[in-house]
Chain A
Amino acid sequence: MKTLQNFLFELCGEQLPSGFERMSTGAKELLAPLVDECYTDRSGNIVGYRRAALANAKKVMVEAHLDEIGLMVTKIDDNGFLHFTNLAGFSPEILPATSVTVRGVRPLPGVVATLPPHLLSPEEQKKPLPMDKMVIDIGYSAARARELVRVGDPIVLRQSCADLLNHRVCGKALDNRAGVAVILNALNDLVKMPLPVNLYVVFSAGEEFNGFGARHAAWEIAPDEALVIDVTHGASAQTPKNKAFPLGGGVMIGVAPVLNGEVTACLLDLAARNQIPYGREAMSGRTGTNSDGIAVSRAGVPVGLASIPLRYMHSGCEVVDLADMQACSRLIGRYVMQGGAVHYE
């Protein structure tokens, strides 16, 4: 049987920048055996459906975004270097001397080129490089590069996962493969149990861009309620106290105006009653996650949010604690088996 870590490491190996989620093979293969039906919808979302044991059960949607931050090729210059722009979620600071994968006719390794300090003035070294001053070296001549790569091809970070101390792991795209992995793990635990709800699992497209995937899925499925699984900022040396949360502190349950009070109360209660380590993450308006878009789908969807603390978000060295993921996975399981939170007459 697969462990949480197996799920996570397999998922992080995929290269799925926003808008290119259809390139996924692994996520669907992992999901299919755990659900009754599994399909890719017109937006590129991977949707899994498990039927309720009873008729007239309500529809609960559990969502995590599948996509990761990405760049896009804008030019192949006469030396064979690739020029690029942000596709989704990248800021230029993390780019110099970073390894990347260019999704050309085949996946191509590349390096974000930098000038060595010997060639730079002290002044130049103080300023961060803007993205349009950087290029990617894929090691080919211009002629060959133009055969392999086209303007519009996407680029992702190239980094494998690794273990750190104390069941913490690091890698790229843990935002939000960690969320996808905990849902898979929760489904794995529920696989033999009859469900009190019709469960729709959505691994959504385009969250790092504008969240189109989750909005389409919520519209199409029209769930009675939804639970969004994402990552939140993990506390590190530089983070402000009330916006980042310690690794190992458990799953962070979102409390925010846009989140449904009943769903939130239910999650808090489930965590407390079942000794699932958790904390409260207060956000004073919207949440910056797919819950914002799902909440306003059609006539409104009651939505809750559970997040996994993650350090160094949107870099190639994101860090999460497997214990927090385990807590999140257990919370999802309890939530589904309880039949969700909101009860209508």
Chain B
Amino acid sequence: MIDAIRELAGVSGVSGNERNISEYIKGQILPYVDKVYEDSLGNLVAVRRGEGSRVMLMAHMDQIGLVASFVDDKGFVRVAPVGHVDPKTTVGRPVVFENGETGVFICGSKEKKEPELKDCYVDIGAADRAEALRRVEIGQTASFLSNTFETGRKIVSGALDNRAGCYCLMETLRRVKNNSCELYAVFTVQEEVGLRGAKVSGFEIAPDVAIAVDVTLSGDHPDARETTAVLGGGAAVKICDRSAICSRGIIEDLENLAARRGIPVQRDVLASGGTDIGSVQLLGKGVQVGGVSIPVRYCHSAVEMADKNDIEAVIGLLTAYLEK
């Protein structure tokens, strides 16, 4: 598991520029699906034929990052955030641009109490504007670099949101034997900038059921805002968050399955945040929506932490759901 997640976390895929991660995932899942294609926005759609209702499982493959917007006279690359970048947890992190150029993300000065995004830049060590522009093009994205490692039963990485979800969906595709439904496994784009990929994919596929596979916040560490789902508590079955209220039928199906198969689950009521089902829920004549999440501490930082048992539980629950 750790090796697979490390590999996934090592492939770049800042929102709007997911080609690398998409190619990687495509290569991994090809043997386990009947058809794979990309839609107009770049969502990677894998189809497993089957009888019965249309089930769409979504894991977003994009990650937060930066985009070069301007280079000043001294050669510092001014950047804008792509997705929700919290300067407090990202300042000082090394970054890598699409073309391999590296630099460090700097935000505000020491004198200021709170770093602000409007003051932030990437220092690539360029002597002047001309050198910087030779090395980095305006509009290029940069992703944060991080290490992926294990500590105890936990996995730590800067890209668990949502490469852990991608891993769960890929593993589910590998493990599921006889799906009792027409399965669309979608690795979505542009989730971090407003659930955009899921919106067009959900419309195009028009599923009966849509389930998001994502991370959820775990507030079980000191000074955290308490949450209903916590690390080690099992797969988090979404009840609601700020983007969607889950369908009662899906919640019951997932919980009943978990009880029968002995898969640990916990309920997830989130007072903030959203997932891909938020935009799918609003589409067309209506879709039954649900969410299965991996609890993660320190979300959107370099050291997102998840429990391996929870990840196993998510894969087990999704597999059971597809085979039911």
A72-B240 contact, Cβ under 8 Å, with A132-B226, A151-B269, A209-B245? yes
B225, B245, B282: residue with the most chain A Cβ atoms closer than 10 Å? B245
Per-residue contact bits, chain B 213-251, to A (CB 8 Å; 1 contact, 0 not): 000000000000111100000000001100111001001
What chain B residues lie within 8 Å of A20 (beta carbons)?
248
Is the CB–CB distance between A216 and B239 below 8 Å?
no
B239, B278, B286: residue with the most chain A Cβ atoms closer than 10 Å? B286
Question: Of A75, A212, A293, which is within 8 A of B281 by CB?
Answer: A212
Is the CB–CB distance between A212 and B282 below 8 Å?
yes
Is the CB–CB distance between B251 and A215 below 8 Å?
no
A1-42 with Cβ < 8 A to chain B: 18-20, 22, 41-42
B90 on the A face (CB < 8 A): no
Interface residue count for B (Cβ, 8 Å)?
21
What chain B residues lie within 8 Å of A83 (beta carbons)?
226
Question: Of B228, B282, B286, which is within 8 A of A41 by CB?
Answer: B286
Is the CB–CB distance between B269 and A74 below 8 Å?
yes
Is the CB–CB distance between A152 and B267 below 8 Å?
yes
What chain B residues lie within 8 Å of A185 (beta carbons)?
none
Question: Of B226, B244, B278, B284, which is within 8 A of A216 by CB?
Answer: B284
B240-293 with Cβ < 8 A to chain A: 240, 243-245, 248, 251, 267, 269, 271, 278, 281-282, 284-286, 288
What chain A residues lie within 8 Å of B245 (beta carbons)?
18-19, 87, 206, 209
A86-B285 contact, Cβ under 8 Å, with A19-B240, A19-B245? no
Interface of A is mostly: mixed
B239, B244, B251, B267: residue with the most chain A Cβ atoms closer than 10 Å? B239
Question: Of A42, A150, A211, which is within 8 A of B267 by CB?
Answer: A150
Is the CB–CB distance between A152 and B282 below 8 Å?
no
Is the CB–CB distance between B282 and A210 below 8 Å?
yes
Q: How far is the CA of A209 from the CA of B282 in the complex (A)?
A: 11
Whole-angstrom distance between the Cβ of A39 and the nearest chain B Cβ? 13
How many A-B contacts at CB < 8 Å in the complex? 63
Is the CB–CB distance between B239 and A152 below 8 Å?
yes
What chain A residues lie within 8 Å of B286 (beta carbons)?
41-43, 212, 216, 219-220
What chain B residues lie within 8 Å of A212 (beta carbons)?
281-282, 286
Per-residue contact bits, chain A 65-102, to B (CB 8 Å; 1 contact, 0 not): 00000001111000000010111000000000000000
Whole-angstrom distance between the Cβ of A89 and the nearest chain B Cβ? 12
Q: How far is the CA of A75 from the CA of B136 in the complex (A)?
A: 50
Is the CB–CB distance between B239 and A72 below 8 Å?
yes
Is the CB–CB distance between A86 and B271 below 8 Å?
yes
Q: How far is the CA of A87 from the CA of B288 in the complex (A)?
A: 18
Is the CB–CB distance between B282 and A74 below 8 Å?
no
Question: Of A87, A152, A206, A210, which is within 8 A of B251 by CB?
Answer: A152
A44-80 with Cβ < 8 A to chain B: 72-75
Q: How far is the CA of A105 from the CA of B285 in the complex (A)?
A: 30
Is the CB–CB distance between A85 and B285 below 8 Å?
no
A210-262 with Cβ < 8 A to chain B: 210-212, 215-216, 219-220
Q: How far is the CA of A20 from the CA of B245 in the complex (A)?
A: 9
B128-154 with Cβ < 8 A to chain A: none
What are some 6 contacts across the A-B interface (CB < 8 A)? A41-B286, A43-B286, A151-B239, A152-B239, A210-B281, A211-B282
Which 5 pairs from chain A and chain B are nearest by CB?
A: A19-B245, A216-B286, A152-B239, A220-B285, A85-B271
Q: Which B residues contact A (CB, under 8 angstroms)?
A: 225-228, 239-240, 243-245, 248, 251, 267, 269, 271, 278, 281-282, 284-286, 288
